[in-house]
Amino acid sequence: MAAGSGAGVVLLPAVEWNPQLLEVPPQTQFDYTVTSLAGGPKPHSSYDSHYRKTTLKGGMFAGQLTKVGMEQMFALGERLRKKYVDTVPFLSPSFKPQEVFVRSTNMYRNLESTRCLLAGLFQREKEGSIIIHTDESSSEVLYPNYQNCWGLRQRTRGRREAAALQPGISEDLKKVKEGMGTDSSDEVDFLVLLDNVAAEQVHSLPSCPMLKRFAQVIERRAVDTALYILQQEDREGLQMAVGPFLHILENNLVKAADPAPPPNKTRKLYLYAAHDVTLMPLLMVLGTFDHKWPPFAADLTIELYQHQESEEWFVQLYYHGEEQLPRGCPEKLCPLEKFLNTVSLYSLSPEKYQTLCSQAQELELGNEE
């Protein structure tokens, strides 16, 4: 399962962000410990250090989870509880470490989002410690890692700038910038604008009226920009973007369907707290992207079933709680083998990921000699 959370620093500081927006709703309080993937101390977060350098009008620093965000994640947790605890008694009503594995990207707001989801899912009841596993930003695979993967960086280099020059996108960008009175040379594109629109709308902040007026255009063109950067037909690009994460999900499914699973190794729920920029390529790979920007607290759920008589395994995919038909599947309840065939086209083992990411670099170095 992957839960989405927004990403990006707000760059249009016209709105006042009141620190009261950061108040923690009592129902979301739930203690947790953060460790490295190996169980050691929490790695340093370069993203959090970066966000703290940007102070917004009102005194808040950028990239924080607000009360509204906490409530949205808590509501997602409650929705999952209704399905997996109340309707189908699949998970225990309280958190048990042997049932649930939790991993998040190493950003404070995403760790806090995970806390709120777990508080909603288990109603703040736990039997044992909640450990949230996380990784160094240099080797993180829960989002497309442009810093770490040279091949991905090379492949998409210049595409964000080029996207803003595409017919349709460039005219709309000019129109929105003029309407807002933003300098046309500003480094403001539709991805930056979308971050602002989404954040201001959800907190009912008095934003630039033009942002409100252009909200739909901004969302549509942000999607167009993202699809120009990571293209559906660019298999290697998508592999480098989400291949290692798909490899983890694939392994979880194969392990769970093993006729003799190792004792205490298979959990009932694997929870991954990722980002909107993770969900889009994942949905593209699975053939279920709806051309809408994933909203905050969007969730993608992969359920694994076994037929009681035939003992065959099946997968059911949900996005926002709605059934999806993955690419290559004859119907929504998809034979595991067919689902894995689709995933395997894009999945990358750590070794293959390293090879693909550094391949272009080696070629270029070879040409220079």
Counting other chains too, the contacts that 239-242 makes at CB distance below 8 Å and 24 or more residues apart are 239/346, 239/347, 239/348, 239/353, 239/356, 240/144, 240/149, 240/151, 240/152, 240/155, 240/348, 240/353, 240/356, 240/357, 241/144, 241/152, 241/281, 242/144, 242/278, 242/281, 242/282, 242/285, 242/346
* Residue 148 in tokens: 């770490």
Determine the Cα–Cα distance for residues 81 and 89; give it in Å rounded to an integer. Answer: 10
Three-point CA angle 336, 2, 17, nearest 5°: 165
Q: Which residue has the tokens 């994460």?
A: 245
Can you list the domains of the chain with their CATH numbers? Answer: 2-151+234-344 (3.40.50.1240), 152-229 (no CATH)
Q: How far apart are the first and last CA of the chain?
A: 46
For every one of its 369 residues, what pLDDT tens digit does the chain have, with 9 covering 90 and above? 544 444 333 344 444 556 677 788 999 999 999 999 999 999 988 765 555 555 555 555 455 688 888 999 999 999 999 999 999 999 999 999 999 999 999 998 899 999 999 999 999 999 999 999 999 999 999 999 999 999 999 999 889 889 999 999 999 999 988 887 776 666 788 998 888 777 666 655 555 667 778 889 999 999 999 999 999 999 999 999 999 999 999 999 999 998 776 666 779 999 999 999 999 999 999 999 999 999 989 999 999 999 999 999 999 999 999 999 999 999 999 999 999 999 999 999 999 999 999 985 655 555 444
Q: State residue 7's pLDDT score.
A: 35
Q: State residue 5's pLDDT score.
A: 40
Nearest to 317 by CA among 305, 333, 330: 333
DSSP symbols for 5-30: --------TTS---GGGGPPPGGG--
Determine the Cα–Cα distance for residues 335 and 298; give it in Å rounded to an integer. Answer: 25
CA 114 to chain centre: 12
| The residue count for the chain | 369
Q: State residue 333's pLDDT score.
A: 98
Phi, psi of 179 (to 5 degrees): -60, -35
Q: State residue 10's pLDDT score.
A: 36
Q: State residue 263's pLDDT score.
A: 66
Determine the Cα–Cα distance for residues 29 and 110; give it in Å rounded to an integer. Answer: 15
Contact between residue 7 and residue 199 where contact means Cβ atoms under 8 Å apart: no
User: Which of helix, strand or coil describes residue 303?
Assistant: strand
Q: How far is CA 347 from CA 24, 200, 228, 340, 352, in A?
A: 38, 36, 21, 9, 9
Determine the Cα–Cα distance for residues 245 and 104; give it in Å rounded to an integer. Answer: 12
